[in-house]
Structure 1
């Protein structure tokens, strides 16, 4: 039996809202939790609870999207995010595409392993991927 995508999304969002509601040190909504499902929070929720949940959802959605994309491309999400966060301060903006899920394996092998093992410090930038290398990966 296949579960419809909308039901999976609703379940994931409901879980996210419940996790966020427990992690916020603010006055609770009626019943102790925000209502599950779509739509705005009721006006009986305090302002700080409403603001905290609203502020956390886009960030959590971005993180979930990155994790899902990693899994779709057969990557370990934790290792991928660690590598991207490690090189991002030193990586040229015009080459961010090389850090995407699609090209990260080719980019990773061109980085110096000893530099990547360090928590901080500059990295040696490899030359850009050739245009034909970018087109060759699918």
Structure 2
């Protein structure tokens, strides 16, 4: 199936994709902060720059978008059919980079948690909250 947008419109749309302060990340931050948890954001000195860091608990949280990080079994993780080779390489590199960052954090003594975009709701956020504690 061909892209229904022209290249300029697609480029404009993709330029709006945020790497921080995304809606899912803000939802997680608001939920956890309202429950009294305090955290640091995107610590550059840690592998993978986790979205939320709880230094006293040695916990790093990644808020992953289902498409960009290819959530297994999620309907939002469908790969584009146009420029399939480009997207395969890009998304596979994201998966590899995520695994390497988590492994490096765990070797350094950190516990890593991932919450997926599609899990952000009362149940998923409640589970994340309990895992952090």
TM bucket (normalised to shorter chain) is under 0.3
Q: TM-score, normalised by structure 1?
A: 0.26
The structure whose RCO (Cα within 8 Å, separation 6+) is larger is 2
Larger Rg: 1
Query: Given the two structures, how large is their TM-score scaled by the length of structure 2?
Result: 0.26
Give 1 or 2: higher helix fraction: 1
